[in-house]
Amino acid sequence: MDRFIVISGCSGGGKSTLLSELARRGFATIEEPGRRIVAAELESGGSALPWVDGTAFARRAFQMALADREHAAQLGGWVFFDRSLIDAAAHLLHLPDMPTLATLGGLHPYNRQVFLTPPWPEIFINDRERRHDFDAARDEYDRLLVAYPAAGYEVVVLPMTGVRERADFVLTTLATQGSLARR
Q: Classify 4-182 by CATH class.
A: alpha beta
Amino acid letter, residue 94: H
Phi, psi of 38 (to 5 degrees): -60, -45
Domain boundaries, the chain: 4-182
Edge-to-edge strand ranges of the sheet holding 4-9: 28-30, 79-82, 4-9, 113-117, 154-157
Q: Which pLDDT score is estimated for 125? A: 61
- What pLDDT is recorded for position 56? 85
What pTM was estimated for this model as a whole?
A: 0.82
**pLDDT value of residue 109:** 83
Low-confidence ranges of the chain (pLDDT < 50): 180-183
From CA 81, how far away is CA 84, in angstroms rounded? Answer: 7
